[in-house]
Amino acid sequence: MKIAVLGGDGYCGWATALHLSRQGHSVAIVDNFLRRQWDRDLGVETLTPIRTLADRIEAWKRHTGNPIEVFEGDVTDYGFLSSMFREFQPEALVHFAEQRSAPYSMIDRQHAIFTQSNNVLGTLNVLFAIKELQPECHLVKLGTMGEYGTPNIDIEEGYITIEHNGRKDVLPYPKQAGSFYHLSKVHDSHNMLFACRVWGLRATDLNQGVVYGTVTGETALDDALINRFDYDEVFGTVLNRFCVQAAVGFPLTVYGKGGQTRGYLDIRDTVRCVELACLNPAAKGECRVFNQFTEQFSVLELAHMVQAAGRKLSLKVDIQHLPDPRVEAEQHYYNARHSKLADLGLQPHLLSESLLDSLMNIAVRYRERIDESLFLPRVNWREPVNRRQPAKEEMVLTGGVLEP
């Protein structure tokens, strides 16, 4: 298949582009490198030393003989996006190209507005480009489990059957997102559902849980192919952060009580899920939803698992409970269905089997690059400030949280 990977220079996108290329698909990466710019703006770096996209693609071609095309540009620029469609003519389009950090979207008004305009307008452009230029193209769009929030009932895969006043209907599952970022995904989902209904497009909304790990079969081929591993408080996800903290003996930063429960998956399962979605496209007019995660854990369960893995490496790992900088339930019911990808053949990697090899060992290997000043949370949900983040030197530690 001809598959365009929007956001293919990012964490999930890079691993996915290589996996699809290795499976024999013809792959194009579309990216404007904004993510690398955000790192520079925030003064942070991925734990792993990633190469430029040009170097990565050259190394991939050297190892496999497979070329990957690159279209450098902004998905919110319709002229650019439509010229990519005309030239590459994708049969499937995997859309990762969004601002994906909840804390980033909660820094201040500008970051909230940027997040929603970048994400919602980009996806709208994608929908219009498919309708106008490639109506059979299957959109595989990354959503998030965070769209559902933490309701006190079971979470279904996208839709729920509701009986009300004696009548019954299948309706989109209620959304209760926890940040302006997560809300941007809710808005995308509504726009996709509408476009499929009125224009007969075909789309799969992959409501992905929190991804962990960095190594996949493809990125392991060469150091030049190494993927990102973010651990800073804005872009680092919780398990990656805990492993890096454990590697330098920094107490694991559990926010609040630590009962926050989410769905998680290994990056090796992310790439396989996307492939399965591409190989089994949605029907014309269908906007289907897959809950893309393999296991669910509370933050405290993860901390205890990292503590136990640390012991095996002779690392002394302590746990600290910080005041939760987010507004979220710290203890709650959570039971989310996730059977559709398994039905298509997904065979999950389990965290208990990969924590040491795929995470802790990477954190230890790159220990020298760890910047401990990136561990404590500074972005606070209750008090987004109407200006840019102050520099690190301007922050003081108050009650375990760095504040201006």
Instruction: Assess whether 11 carries a catalytic annotation.
Output: no
Q: Does 241 bind ligand USQ (CB under 6 A)?
A: yes
Whole-angstrom Cα distance, residue 293 to residue 334? 13
User: Among 105, 125, 144, 291, which residue sits at the site for ligand NAD (rule: CB under 6 A)?
Assistant: 144
Q: Does 102 bind ligand USQ (CB under 6 A)?
A: yes
List residues bridging with 254 in a β-sheet: 321
Binding to ligand NAD in span 55-114, by CB under 6 A: 74-76, 96-98, 100
Partner in contact with 310, chosen from ligand NAD, ligand USQ, none, beta carbon below 5 to 8 Å by kind: none
> By CB under 6 A, which span of 49-57, 68-76, 154-162, 259-267 interacts with ligand USQ?
259-267
Q: Does 146 bind ligand USQ (CB under 6 A)?
A: yes
Contact 47, 244 (CB under 8 A): yes
Instruction: Assess whether 185 carries a catalytic annotation.
Output: yes
Whole-angstrom Cα distance, residue 211 to residue 69? 26
Q: Does 35 bind ligand NAD (CB under 6 A)?
A: yes
Partner in contact with 326, chosen from ligand USQ, ligand NAD, none, beta carbon below 5 to 8 Å by kind: ligand USQ
3-class state of residue 334 by DSSP: coil
Partner in contact with 13, chosen from ligand NAD, ligand USQ, none, beta carbon below 5 to 8 Å by kind: ligand NAD
E strand intervals along 177-302: 202-208, 210-212, 252-255, 261-266, 287-292, 295-298
Residue 164 or 227: the one with the smaller Cβ distance to ligand NAD is: 227
Instruction: Assess whether 144 carries a catalytic annotation.
Output: yes
Helix (H) or strand (E) holding 283: none
Whole-angstrom Cα distance, residue 371 to residue 402? 15
Whole-angstrom Cα distance, residue 67 to residue 72? 16
Residue 116 or 237: the one with the smaller Cβ distance to ligand USQ is: 237
Q: Does 299 bind ligand USQ (CB under 6 A)?
A: yes
Partner in contact with 275, chosen from ligand NAD, ligand USQ, none, beta carbon below 5 to 8 Å by kind: none
Residue (of 257, 136, 277, 152) closest to 206 by Cα position = 277
Contacting residues for 144 by C-beta, under 8 A, at least 6 apart: 182, 185, 207, 208, 209
Residue (of 205, 203, 199) closest to 132 by Cα position = 199
Residue (of 82, 98, 268) closest to 180 by Cα position = 98
Residue 188 or 386: the one with the smaller Cβ distance to ligand NAD is: 188
Q: How many residues bind ligand NAD (CB under 6 A)?
A: 27
Contacting residues for 223 by C-beta, under 8 A, at least 6 apart: none
Q: How many residues bind ligand USQ (CB under 6 A)?
A: 21
Residue (of 226, 203, 231, 204) closest to 215 by Cα position = 226
Residue 111 or 228: the one with the smaller Cβ distance to ligand NAD is: 228
Q: Which of 144, 204, 219, 237 is catalytic?
A: 144
Minimum distance between the CB of residue 349 and ligand NAD, rounded to whole angstroms? 15
User: Among 20, 145, 267, 402, which residue sits at the site for ligand USQ (rule: CB under 6 A)?
Assistant: 145
Chain position whose Cβ is nearest to ligand USQ? 146
Contact 159, 171 (CB under 8 A): yes
Partner in contact with 75, chosen from ligand NAD, ligand USQ, none, beta carbon below 5 to 8 Å by kind: ligand NAD
Which residues make up the interface to ligand NAD (CB under 6 A)?
A: 7, 9-13, 31-35, 74-76, 96-98, 100, 118, 122, 142, 144, 208, 210-211, 228, 237
